């Protein structure tokens, strides 16, 4: 294994993120090659957490752009602070300067509201990690705009001119595959798929995030969750739900799973009414019995 990849694995684990060689290699190459890293996978498997840990490892800031349907360039890049501009205009009443000079004043950086993309591009001290979260939820038009920004890391503001990044941001994009991303975006990025972890890795994740948790409880929780993922649920639980459930059980001072406790805390791991109903009729008891047998 490459020494730099091994070093990243160690740093990730020190921060409670249990990774494997493909994840550490993807992070290393994204940093070394200065290319965006597109991470896809099921919800709750730790895609967003990679950007947070990456920023921590690099000792830099994390800037997050949360994507959603209808997101436009203004919300992602910049807006003018219109209330402050109007206030300044009123204060300038009677000002004898020419119109161009007064206009230049109110369209100065002082009145610019930086949104995540512009904030990432204009960092003066060091390159931040720019997380573009759930990019698949944004419209195709915004994706096209995003491609332009990622190409050169520069933007043009008509009133101020072209602004270029002094330090090229480290970019992480995540996708839950709500819609298919364009080939152009995929070609521009390195790619990483994160699936559900196996039993040993998920148990390590639980123990890393909840130091001191009873080993038997951790293993039972992981077995139960992994059994749920094989049942064709509408919303199968991710690692995030595994950790939420384990925390809840620790808070309730439980050392192992029992039917009453599972019934009472099922909302920590199952988030869909049809899935809850599917576990009725003795199905939950069957899964719990299998978990106890190990």
**pLDDT tens by residue, 9-48:** 998 888 888 889 999 999 999 999 999 999 999 888 889 9
pLDDT of residue 84: 80
> For the residues 218-222, what does the mean pLDDT come to?
96
Count of other CB atoms within 10 angstroms of residue 219: 19
Higher-pLDDT residue of 169 and 279 is 169
> For the residues 163-192, what does the mean pLDDT come to?
93
Q: Which band of pLDDT confidence, cut at 50, 70 and 90, is reported for residue 88?
A: confident
> For the residues 255-277, what does the mean pLDDT come to?
93
> For the residues 111-115, what does the mean pLDDT come to?
86
> For the residues 238-252, what does the mean pLDDT come to?
95
- Spatial neighbors of 250 by CB under 8 A, at least 6 apart, are 210, 213, 217
Q: Which band of pLDDT confidence, cut at 50, 70 and 90, is reported for residue 99?
A: low
What percentage of the chain exceeds 70 in pLDDT? 95
pLDDT at residue 79 greater than cutoff 90: no
pLDDT of residue 94: 66
pLDDT at residue 111 greater than cutoff 80: no
Higher-pLDDT residue of 245 and 94 is 245
pLDDT at residue 267 greater than cutoff 80: yes
pLDDT of residue 293: 81
Least confident of 14-23, 123-132, 151-160: 151-160
Q: Which band of pLDDT confidence, cut at 50, 70 and 90, is reported for residue 95?
A: low
Q: Give the 3-state secondary structure percentages of the chain, helix then strand then coil, rounded to 5.
A: 55, 15, 35
pLDDT of residue 4: 87
pLDDT at residue 102 greater than cutoff 70: no
pLDDT of residue 101: 67
pLDDT of residue 44: 86
C-alpha of 50 from chain center: 7
Are 174 and 133 spatial neighbours (Cβ–Cβ below 8 Å)?
Answer: yes
């Amino acid at each position: 294994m490459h020494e730099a990849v091994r070093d990243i694995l160690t740093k990730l684990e020190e921060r409670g993120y249990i990774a494997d060689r493909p994840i550490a290699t993807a992070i290393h190459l994204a940093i070394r090659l200065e290319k965006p890293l597109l991470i896809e996978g099921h919800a709750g498997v730790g895609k967003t957490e990679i950007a947070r840990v990456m920023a921590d490892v690099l000792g830099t800031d994390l800037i997050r752009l949360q994507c959603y349907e209808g997101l436009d360039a203004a919300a992602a890049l910049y807006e003018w602070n219109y209330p402050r501009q109007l206030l300044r205009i009123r204060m300038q009443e009677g000002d004898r300067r020419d119109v161009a000079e007064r206009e230049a004043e109110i369209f100065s950086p002082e009145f610019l509201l930086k949104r995540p993309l512009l904030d990432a591009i204009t960092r003066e001290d060091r390159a931040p990690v720019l997380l573009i979260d759930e990019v698949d939820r944004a419209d195709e038009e915004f994706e096209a705009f995003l491609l332009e920004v990622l190409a050169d890391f520069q933007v043009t503001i008509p009133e101020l001119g072209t602004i270029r990044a002094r330090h090229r941001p480290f970019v992480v994009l995540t996708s839950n595959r709500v819609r298919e991303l364009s080939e152009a975006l995929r070609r521009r990025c390195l790619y990483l798929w994160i699936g559900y972890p196996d039993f040993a890795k998920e148990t390590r994740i639980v123990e890393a995030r909840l130091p001191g948790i009873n080993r038997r409880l951790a293993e039972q929780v992981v077995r139960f969750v992994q059994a749920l993922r094989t049942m064709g649920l509408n919303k199968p639980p991710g690692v995030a739900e595994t950790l939420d459930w384990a925390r809840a059980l620790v808070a309730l001072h439980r050392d192992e799973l029992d039917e009453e406790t599972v019934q009472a805390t099922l909302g920590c791991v199952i988030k869909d009414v049809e899935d809850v109903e599917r576990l009725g009729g003795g199905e939950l008891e069957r899964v719990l019995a299998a978990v106890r047998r190990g």
